[in-house]
Amino acid sequence: MFKGVLFDLDGVITDTAEYHYKAWKKLADDLGITIDRKFNESLKGVSREDSLRLILEYGEMTDQITDAQFQALATEKNDNYVVMIEEFSEADVFPGILPLLKALKQHKIKIALASASKNGPILLEKMHISDYFDAIVNPASVPNGKPAPDIFIAAAESINVPVTDCIGIEDSKAGIAAIKASGVLPIGVGQAADLGSDIALVDATDKLTFDYLTTVWASKQ
Ligand code: BG6
Ligand code: MG
């Protein structure tokens, strides 16, 4: 039986993946760079700075931006994003997530947050679910962001559970790659076209029941 569950946040626990996209799209539009949802798949799970690098590369603007401008753009995106999540509350927790957190607690399974977002702790507070988490990894504390495995390895360590006894839940391509590289068992929230057809997938979070996780775990043995 698994002993720990490592959650991504944006797009798994709540709909913030959509707000990250809206905030990046506005920033890109202002720079004259057109990004769409397909391109956005490559930004999901990726840190703020790496996302901005990808957008500037995509718009062939990397060489035109100074370090100071880069920092200002990253701050501008985050300022816009923070306004969008200002009113977040319990109502913004995706369907099925609260029952899953409760069931995991009941079964004494450890829970950690493995999100690349520096806004993670604030969002958990706003949604009143911080208390379910035994640990929240500070993404600034790991050397390499997703798709590197670092944050999932750190998350497993933070709850004192070996990676081989953990399930990781992710909605992004970079995040699934990170989970796979860490030795954690992945469950994807999304479509095979984006996340691959070689892992357990749900199309919506209400399918993430405790029974479902148990079945996925059993099928890996
Ligand atoms: C990830 C999101 O969880 O966090 C990305 O999928 C986001 O879209 C990244 O860029 C960093 O988030 P933040 O809140 O620190 O800018
Ligand atoms: Mg995500």
Task: Give the integer Cα–Cα distance in Å for 133 and 113.
Answer: 7
Q: Are residues 53 and 120 in the same domain?
A: no
Atom of ligand 1 nearest to the CA of 119: 14
Report yes or no: 105 and 132 within 8 Å, Cβ to Cβ.
Answer: yes
Report yes or no: 131 and 30 within 8 Å, Cβ to Cβ.
Answer: no
Task: Give the integer Cα–Cα distance in Å for 187 and 2.
Answer: 13
E strand or H helix at 168: strand 166-170
Q: Are residues 132 and 97 in the same domain?
A: yes
Domain boundary among 85, 108, 123: 85
126-136 confidence digits (pLDDT tens): 999 999 999 99
Domain boundary among 34, 59, 85: 85
Task: Write out the residue range of the structural domain in which residue 65 sits.
Answer: 16-85
CA-nearest residue for atom 10, ligand 1, is: 48
Total number of domains in the chain: 2
> What value does the mean pLDDT take over residues 203-212?
98
137-194 confidence digits (pLDDT tens): 999 999 999 999 999 999 999 999 999 999 999 999 999 999 999 999 999 999 999 9
Distances (CA, A) of 152 to 21, 149, 156, 186, 188: 23, 6, 6, 11, 14
Q: Are residues 146 and 189 in the same domain?
A: yes
Q: Which residue has the tokens 């306004």?
A: 83
Q: Are residues 213 and 186 in the same domain?
A: yes
Q: Are residues 81 and 132 in the same domain?
A: no
Domain boundary among 49, 66, 85: 85
Percent with pLDDT over 90 in the chain: 99
Question: Which residues are found with C-beta within 5 Å of the ion, ligand 2?
Answer: 8, 10-11, 171-172
CATH number at residue 131: 3.40.50.1000
Q: Are residues 41 and 143 in the same domain?
A: no
66-113 confidence digits (pLDDT tens): 999 999 999 999 999 999 999 999 999 999 999 999 999 999 999 999
CATH number at residue 50: 1.10.150.240
Q: Which candidate in 8, 134, 150, 165 is catalytic?
A: 8
Task: Give the integer Cα–Cα distance in Å for 44 and 129.
Answer: 22
Q: Are residues 119 and 79 in the same domain?
A: no
Q: Are residues 101 and 209 in the same domain?
A: yes
> Could you tell me the pLDDT band of residue 220, with boundaries at 50, 70 and 90?
confident
Task: Give the integer Cα–Cα distance in Å for 211 and 180.
Answer: 22
Catalytic site includes residue 131: no
User: Is a pLDDT exceeding 80 seen at residue 29?
Assistant: yes
Residue 178: how many other CB atoms lie within 10 Å: 28
At 205, give phi and psi (nearest 5°): -70, -20
For 37, residues 6+ apart whose C-beta sits below 8 A from its C-beta are 21
Supply the pLDDT for residue 221: 63
Residue 115 counted as an annotated binding residue: yes
Q: Are residues 134 and 173 in the same domain?
A: yes
CA-nearest residue for atom 8, ligand 1, is: 44
> What value does the mean pLDDT take over residues 58-69?
97
Rounded to the nearest integer, the mean pLDDT of the chain is 97
Q: Are residues 29 and 133 in the same domain?
A: no
Tell me the DSSP string of 58-91. Answer: HTT-GGG--HHHHHHHHHHHHHHHHHHTTT--GG
Q: Could you tell me the distance, in angstroms and rounded to a whole number, from the CA of residue 191 to the centre of ligand 2?
A: 13
ipTM (interface pTM): 0.99
> Could you tell me the pLDDT band of residue 57, with boundaries at 50, 70 and 90?
very high
Q: Are residues 124 and 165 in the same domain?
A: yes
CA-nearest residue for atom 2, ligand 1, is: 45
Q: Are residues 184 and 109 in the same domain?
A: yes
